Structure 1
Amino acid sequence: MNWNSYIKSYQSYMRIERGLSKNTIDNYTFDIERLCLYLQENNLDYSPLKISEEIIQQFIYSVSKEVNARSQARIISGLKSFFSYLIFEDYRTDSPMELIEAPRLGRKLPDTLSVDDIDNLIAAIDLSKPEGERNRAMLETLYGCGLRVSELINLKISDLFFEEGFIKITGKGNKQRFVPISEITQKYILLYRNAIRNHLSIVKGHEDTLFLNRRGRQLTRAMIFTIIKDLAVKISLNKAISPHTFRHSFATHLLENGADLRAIQLMLGHESITTTEIYIHLDRKHLSQIMNNFHPRK
């Protein structure tokens, strides 16, 4: 078997046995293909079963000149996963990644928006256009429920349980969770469904998809990014924002208002509470601002 055969086998394992998303599988595959390209460019003839730690160290050193520490760490993580799979399937008995360490990373705090920023972005939506009602409903859902962009575009009508006050979300690894949804967000979704979506000519296979484009198909991730960036330009918001910024803001605002960290973890769908703990750092910054503003000895 050559590299391509092992990569395809690994892709099947990630998709079927680990239930990973297409985006995650593509990222892991890209890391391995980058190694293959390095071998090819340097006339190094090594199969996945014979490649040594020394060769991979040379590859990592080469990569470190082109990418930042975070990207380098991701590549190392991707390769470790691939060689662990080869050991799991008894193709290898050892991993050439065993002694290779990823660079230490400082903990990057996510960018967030203020409540006023979010209100201004949503207020800037042109409701005179049919897609305006849809965009308002989408941004209210993105922020109000703390969703990932992939969770937003894949949201189904059959996932809406408004009487119970929840929506069902299918997150990373096809793991499902129920997230509370406020009455105001429900109102905007119903307005969009009744006034806009019900009048679309829906393409077969998209009948249950909640948010659709003008041609009756599911929206793309890129379209959500474009909508948000255009609104940021419209209100002269001098921040680099993305759909994920709304998710970070959701978690940060909940924590600032006294929400329990475990509850936030469940709503965000984080497997480990360690991932959610990054918002404690944001909250500490908020508390520091309060002290500086209001303490009598400031």
Structure 2
Amino acid sequence: METDKKSDANILKTYLRYLKLERNYSQNTIDAYAHDIAWLMDYCDRESRKPTALQPEDLQHFAASLHEYQVGPRSQARILSGVRSFYRYLLLDGYIETDPTELLESPVLGQHLPEVLSTEEVDLLEQSIDLSKPEGQRNRAIIEMLFSCGLRVSELVNLKLSQLHLEEGFIRVLGKGSKERLVPISPRAIKELKLWFTDRVHLKIKRGEEDFVFLSKRGGHLTRTMILIMIKRQAEEAGLKKTISPHTLRHSFATALLKGGADLRAIQAMLGHESIGTTEIYTHIDTTTLREEILNHHPRNMKKP
């Protein structure tokens, strides 16, 4: 039995190496897949089975067991997606002859439309920042960059000075899977960045951190958690009732582009989405907003005094 466990551990190790070296996934993504497969391995331990020996009915039972452990539908879908990826790898590398997950269904999820901010709400967010504080202008530049460029928070915290081409009006962004894309940067974002740079020169920057655009008061680059806390706190200061995060500003960027008439393919390229299907959620947001506009302003829907 110990040999079997060691064998399973080796399969998992080679799978994670495959994700890193051949799929070029980030460490965060690899950790998420490892977390998904841990659920499967726990199930195999309980049932005294090897993952390579599981049949479709076993995997249906595994999926049902997630519900018994009170895993929510969205998390179940995420785990089962990771399990499917694992079995595709096992098939590709010759560990199994057929994929037992082909008919494995995920729980049905309702359409979740992300919260978005209007331009006026983003302005309120920025105007609420106390610029007399050392981090004030930095935080203003961060919010403007997230909204004007549609960056993921991980892309923002890892943004380097060497990736900025302000004279040409664009930045080079290293996205998921180390894929690089060019994103236009607005004059407003350039202005806020340059004001931040006048404060940045006074920092005592840690060795090796010199090329990061955004730094903490201690001279080190920021983390995603720091940005999340800052934006939530600033939303409270601005009196915004919406639950927002750094990703809200990315959603707001895409929605504003769509409302302005931008092509969906152009939005896909600027967001760095691999699939157009991911970008299409913004068409649902726009349709929802359009419906509200019609209900509020069409003469047939307006209440008579």
TM-score of the aligned structures, taking structure 2 as reference length: 0.92
2:122 maps to a residue whose letter is: I
The equivalent residue for 2:3 is none
1:182 to 169, 180, 186: 186
Counterpart Cα distance in 1 of 2:54 and 2:66: 17
State whether residues 267 and 279 of structure 2, in contact with CA within 8 Å, keep that contact through their aligned partners in structure 1: yes
Matches within 5 A, 1:185-204: 185-193=189-197, 195-204=198-207
* Count of matched residue pairs: 295
Deviating more after overlay: 122-131 vs 96-105: 96-105
State whether residues 157 and 209 of structure 1, in contact with CA within 8 Å, keep that contact through their aligned partners in structure 2: yes
Pair 1:240-2:243 in alignment? yes
The Cα shift of 1:169 comes to 0.6
Pair 1:111-2:111 in alignment? no
The equivalent residue for 1:98 is 102
The equivalent residue for 2:30 is 25
2:158 maps to a residue whose letter is: N
1:146 to 144, 150, 164: 150
Post-superposition Cα deviations, 1:45-92, rounded to whole Å, max 9, x if no partner, equal 222322333332222111023122221111111001011111111122
Counterpart Cα distance in 2 of 1:6 and 1:200: 47
The equivalent residue for 2:19 is 14
Post-superposition Cα deviations, 1:243-269, rounded to whole Å, max 9, x if no partner, equal 110000111111112222222111111
State whether residues 35 and 59 of structure 1, in contact with CA within 8 Å, keep that contact through their aligned partners in structure 2: yes
1:78 maps to a residue whose letter is: G
Give structure 2 stretches of 5+ with no counterpart.
Answer: 1-5
Specify the SS of the correspondent of 1:247: helix
Counterpart Cα distance in 2 of 1:204 and 1:10: 35
State whether residues 161 and 213 of structure 2, in contact with CA within 8 Å, keep that contact through their aligned partners in structure 1: yes
Specify the SS of the correspondent of 2:52: coil
State whether residues 44 and 51 of structure 2, in contact with CA within 8 Å, keep that contact through their aligned partners in structure 1: no
Specify the SS of the correspondent of 1:178: strand
Counterpart Cα distance in 1 of 2:172 and 2:187: 16
The equivalent residue for 1:217 is 220
State whether residues 205 and 218 of structure 2, in contact with CA within 8 Å, keep that contact through their aligned partners in structure 1: yes
Counterpart Cα distance in 1 of 2:26 and 2:159: 15
Pair 1:83-2:91 in alignment? no
Deviating more after overlay: 63-72 vs 147-156: 63-72
The equivalent residue for 1:2 is 7
Specify the SS of the correspondent of 1:196: helix
Deviating more after overlay: 54-63 vs 132-141: 54-63
The equivalent residue for 2:262 is 259
Specify the SS of the correspondent of 1:271: coil
State whether residues 20 and 173 of structure 1, in contact with CA within 8 Å, keep that contact through their aligned partners in structure 2: yes
Counterpart Cα distance in 2 of 1:294 and 1:236: 27
The equivalent residue for 1:161 is 165
Specify the SS of the correspondent of 1:2: helix
Counterpart Cα distance in 2 of 1:108 and 1:94: 34
1:216 maps to a residue whose letter is: G
Give structure 1 stretches of 5+ with no counterpart.
Answer: none
Counterpart Cα distance in 1 of 2:193 and 2:260: 25
1:226 maps to a residue whose letter is: I
Counterpart Cα distance in 2 of 1:7 and 1:51: 15
Pair 1:67-2:44 in alignment? no
2:54 maps to a residue whose letter is: I
Counterpart Cα distance in 2 of 1:10 and 1:133: 44
State whether residues 174 and 181 of structure 2, in contact with CA within 8 Å, keep that contact through their aligned partners in structure 1: yes
Counterpart Cα distance in 2 of 1:18 and 1:168: 21
Post-superposition Cα deviations, 1:172-214, rounded to whole Å, max 9, x if no partner, equal 1111111110111011111111x22212222222221111112
The Cα shift of 1:228 comes to 0.7
The Cα shift of 1:295 comes to 2.9
Specify the SS of the correspondent of 2:181: strand
Post-superposition Cα deviations, 1:125-170, rounded to whole Å, max 9, x if no partner, equal 1211111111111110001101111111111101101111000111
Counterpart Cα distance in 2 of 1:234 and 1:242: 14
Counterpart Cα distance in 1 of 2:171 and 2:268: 16
The Cα shift of 1:107 comes to 2.3
Specify the SS of the correspondent of 2:188: helix
